[in-house]
Amino acid sequence: MNPWLNWVIFTIVILVFFLGSVIMFIYMERRVLGKMQARIGPNRVGPFGLLQAIADAVKVLMKEMVTPANADKVVYWLAPIVVFAPVLMVFAVVPFANGALLADLNIGILYVVAVGSISSIGVFMAGWSSSNKYATISAMRMVAAVVSYEIPLVLVIASVVVVSGSMSLNDIVLAQQNYPMLLLQPLAFLLMFIAGCAEINRSPFDLMEADSEIIAGFHTEYTGMKFAMFYLAEYGEAVAMSTIIATLFLGGWQGPFLPPWLWLVLKVFFVFFLMVWTRTTLPRVRIDQLMSLAWKFLFPLALINLVITGAEVLAYPLGIPWYFIFVNIAIGAVLVLLFSRLYKVGGGRVAVG
């Protein structure tokens, strides 16, 4: 195909997929949250409140843009864009059907990790430039959290890459022909889900927007369209993370009967549903617990998982046999139980001189 035509088609596809998913995610989050919290949720605008997100977008567009007097103006204006753009770029390597993707990079998943972490710079810019103390605290928390959680995330992805033997997302999906990676790498899925939630700041790791402590975190001072950009980026990150998890572990576009793109969308929404579920159920962790979870729990488990996966692949170079599904589930369960024993909770007072 003509590369330019390919570019035009997939840019449109990605934009439609992205914006559509974001709007549906916002609606779904509010609606599911409502149902789980014994209330109704949005039901006024459009049928079943489906147009609520659009009404909110229009409202936000008409708001006044306020810039704090002491803000670092350039950085303050640039931050929403820096946050938003990389989120969109992630989708360039996501396959919607076999071979149907904007760019079949042979280092696809590495590109996702690299580009995805740029938006944290934008968040730090926003927090720093607002000249607001809550925003500064939030920005500091953000840097600490992202640096910590990037490592287990990459290690988990590495074990998936080891099994599938490729870094291209399309090849990873093709490698899940017989059964999804979730069955072969159950521990990796768990770790990826936890680290992913922390990476995109979803509850219970939403420390940088902890509304009960630091108001709205880094976007406390943002209003109007700039705020909407953050909001969009937040849900965009959720779409991106759900898509990556769905692609790596749930078999991406693969599935019987339905068209491939619909399978992908269904899986993405399923992953996001899990995220909403954890959000309604769990309280927030503390910053030092967030750190120790990353370094004492996720990091060693991800390393062990990588070693075990490597050994399995080395032993069966032609493909890991199906009964390793049960072996891996057992290994994962034992490891999680073992490490949760070692993991101490509570306390945490610091001596103040």
Partner 1 sequence: MTLRTEPFVINMGPVHPSTHGVFRMRVTLDGEVVVNLEPVFGYLHRGIEKLAEERTYTGFVPLTDRLDYVSSMSNNFGYCLAVEKLAGIEVPERAEYIRVIMTELQRIAAHLVSIGSFFNDCGAYFTPFLYMFRERERVIDLFEMTCGQRLLYNYMRPGGVSQDLPDEFMPALNKLIPQLKKYFEEYENLLQNNEILAARARGVGILPKELAINIGASGPTLRGSGIRWDIRRADPYSIYNRFEFDIPVGEQGDCYDRYRVRMEEMKQSLRIVEQAAKQVPAGPVRSKVPHLIRPPVGEAYSHIEAPTGDLGFYLVSDGGIAPYRCHIRAPSLMNLTALRDMIVGWKVQDAILTFGSFAITMGEVDR
Q: Is 203 in the site for partner 1 (CB under 8 A)?
A: yes
CA 251 to chain centre: 17
> Amino acid identity, residue 213?
E
Q: What number of CA atoms fall less than 13 Å from residue 155's CA on the CB side?
A: 22
- In the complex, least distance from residue 93 CB atom to partner 1, rounded to whole angstroms: 32
Quote the CA–CA distance of 240 and 88 in Å, as a whole number: 8
Among 60, 97, 284, 303, binds partner 1 (CB under 8 A): 284
Q: CB 220 → partner 1: shortest distance, Å?
A: 11
> What is the footprint of partner 1 within residues 206-225 (CB under 8 A)?
206-207, 210-215
Alpha-carbon span 37 to 152, nearest angstrom: 32
Subset of residues 306 to 335 that bind partner 1, contact rule: CB under 8 A: none
Binding track, positions 20-39, relative to partner 1; x by CB under 8 A: -------------x--xxxx
Site string for partner 1, 64-103 (x = CB under 8 A): ----------------------------------------
Q: What count of residues does the chain have?
A: 353
Q: Which residue lies nearer to partner 1 by CB, 138 or 328?
A: 138
Residue tagged 């939403």 (tokens): 206
User: Taking the complex as a whole, how short is the minimal distance between the CB of residue 275 and partner 1, in angstroms?
Assistant: 12
Nearest CA among 121, 19, 116, 112 for reference residue 79:
121
Token pair belonging to 85: 């753009």
Count of residues interacting with partner 1 (CB under 8 A): 39
Give the separation between CA 26 and CA 52, rounded to whole angstroms: 9
Regarding 279 and contact with partner 1 (CB under 8 A), the answer is yes
Q: What is the DSSP string of 177-214?
A: SSS-HHHH-HHHHHHHHHHHHHHTT-TTS-GGG-TTTS
Distance of closest approach, residue 196 Cβ to partner 1, in angstroms: 17
331 φ, ψ to 5°? -60, -45
**Distance of closest approach, residue 215 Cβ to partner 1, in angstroms:** 7
Is the Cβ of residue 202 or residue 267 nearer to partner 1 in the bound state? Answer: 202
Asked if 149 and 116 touch (Cβ cutoff 8 Å), the reply is no
40 binds partner 1 (CB under 8 A): no
Q: Which of 155, 201, 194 is nearest to 300 (CA)?
A: 155
Q: Please, which residue, 259 or 348, has the CB nearer to partner 1? A: 348
Stretch that binds partner 1, among 47-55, 87-95, 136-144, 300-308 (CB under 8 A): 136-144
Q: Which sign, positive or negative, has the C-alpha torsion 30, 32, 38, 44?
A: positive
- Find tokens 């103006």 and name the residue: 73
Q: Which is nearer to partner 1, 282 or 307 (CB)?
A: 282
> Quick one: which of 134, 193, 227, 263 contacts partner 1 (CB under 8 A)?
134
- Residue 146 binds to partner 1 (criterion: CB under 8 A): no
Distance CA 26, CA 13 (A): 20
Q: Closer to partner 1 by CB, 210 or 320: give it.
A: 210
The residue ranges that bind partner 1 (CB under 8 A) are 33, 36-39, 133-134, 137, 140-141, 203-204, 206-207, 210-215, 279-289, 345-352
